[in-house]
Chain A
């Protein structure tokens, strides 16, 4: 144990995004009482500035990759990918939230502070190389999300969402923690690289059955966070109840971060026992796809439907995880990126449509949207087609690549079943398109105001990103592939 420790500048540099975000979040919080009601619009702008700065920091941090703070963090391509992703999700959500918050008369600095803090947690998750950081990262990200889910505290649905998320989240985290304790006991370490080394060394490797059990306990925690079956139960209720921008955020950011850490833990630390967990994830992936897709068919509430769809998409990513190959990891990374954009985009449109108090959430109420606001409808259609997996969208290429990875890993049946599942998905995504384009406008559509600037920005950025990822995926995929290769080495 060293007696003295003074972090080097490089280490701070590698941790810069988190530092920036924390400082900005604190600043937002502190500024709020100072500036008064009238200048509240400064707060989101400040958050945006912070996020952009963090984005920049995350990118430049990659120029000097490596571990930091006693191997607590590992800045590599993989972590950079997810840090950038969650920060971009944050940017989009901030854009998408402005209108919502003013509409609900809840333009407090806390919202942005919490959002930024949550992103800090996700950044930590993305770069964590130590189970302790994983735990803390998860907690930071989650606790902030719990509060955000119940942000409008006078709203019954928000409360319910928050309490459900909170109780079940903590419950699942306890399992995760228990698993961490065991793996610590078995290997004497909580460092992922170290655990992998020990498990790989035959002489000192502990009973693999017990390692399997601890991996299982941790799986409970991770699967819960990514909403994989059979731990997906919370997701629909929570997404439905939370404020729409928060649902957008939760289904994209924390999910991506959770997958990041899930991937890192299972692809590095538990890689040596992959023959134990791969079949489980196989089953889980299939169940997740089935539950998500089939349950979504009957939904009337668009938020809830998107929640189920987000479960289904988690299933596709799980397919990529099942491959436990670098190509599978790359596929998962790519998928999460494109999913983040299309999903945030879709939720952003819902934010726009729901109006004050989220009164218009039924799918049928979107009738005739294409007649009144063709651009909005077209953009939502792009998101839906991407979710559905129509070529030239990110969603398609992600899915394509996931299943390619699965085939390369000889998962023929999973591929076939997964693809059939994606055909089932057409059922419910098409319904929204049908309602928007093929029904006559109803009261809800007629009273719709034009799209606000913030939401517009968020939606357009998401749409462009969805299309770019679909048409020119090579750069992102290249990066993902190289990072995945490096990480799994």
Chain B
């Protein structure tokens, strides 16, 4: 057990970001509800944002934050469109099971 440092090393933030990103990936892989899957993507974006802000801190620049701001905007827009698409899928198939959406294959 390494001693707990007085201040948080930046790499901890980055590892946290990596872990959250991976968990997002895991959510995409293992969840079967489309909405949850979509939320996993949001989780991944959030993880990326954390990285941006951590780097921004490291570089003492605001640019990273601006980037994460745009990611947020994009995520919001994506959410609107994505949920719209999910709604139409549900209207047509009455299911949100991701595994049921496989009429086109091979």
Contact = CB atoms under 8 A, between A and B. Distances in A.
Given A147-B81, A167-B38, A188 B61 contact: yes
A237 B41 contact: no
Interface in A137-173: 139, 143, 146-147, 150, 153-157, 159-164, 166-167, 170-171
Contacts of B70: 132, 135-136
Interface string A395-421: 000000000000000000000000000
Given A132-B70, A157-B104, A241-B104, A163 B51 contact: no
A139 B103 contact: no
A156 B24 contact: no
Nearest to A176: B48
Interface string A170-193: 110010011011101100101000
Contacts of B41: 167, 170-171, 174
Does more than half of chain B's interface fall in helix, strand or loop, or is it mixed?
helix
A177 B48 contact: yes
Residue from B67, B70, B86, B93 whose CB has the most chain A CB atoms within 10 Å: B67
B82 A177 contact: no
Interface in B58-106: 58-59, 61-64, 66-67, 70-71, 74, 77-78, 81-82, 84-86, 88-89, 91-93, 98, 101-105
A159 B24 contact: no
A311 B74 CA distance: 28
A181 B78 contact: no
Contact of B85 (A166, A178, A240): A166
A159 B81 contact: no
A304 B102 CA distance: 14
A150 B54 contact: no
B78 A170 contact: yes
Given A147-B81, A159-B88, A167-B34, A178 B104 contact: no
Nearest to A307: B104
Contacts of A241: 104
Contact of A163 (B28, B34, B45, B55): B34
A194 to B, nearest CB: 11
Interface size for chain A: under 10, 10 to 19, 20 to 34, or 35 or more residues?
A: 35 or more
Nearest to A184: B55
A90 to B, nearest CB: 20
Residue from B41, B54, B105 whose CB has the most chain A CB atoms within 10 Å: B41
B37 to A, nearest CB: 6
B9 to A, nearest CB: 14
Given A163-B34, A190-B67, A241-B104, A181 B81 contact: no
A295 B71 CA distance: 36
A394 B43 CA distance: 44
A430 to B, nearest CB: 21
A132 B67 contact: yes
A338 B93 CA distance: 39
Ranked 6 nearest A-B pairs via Cβ: A185-B55, A174-B44, A181-B51, A153-B88, A237-B104, A159-B89
17 contacts: A132-B67, A135-B67, A146-B81, A147-B84, A159-B92, A162-B89, A167-B28, A167-B37, A171-B28, A171-B41, A177-B45, A177-B71, A178-B48, A184-B63, A184-B67, A185-B51, A237-B104
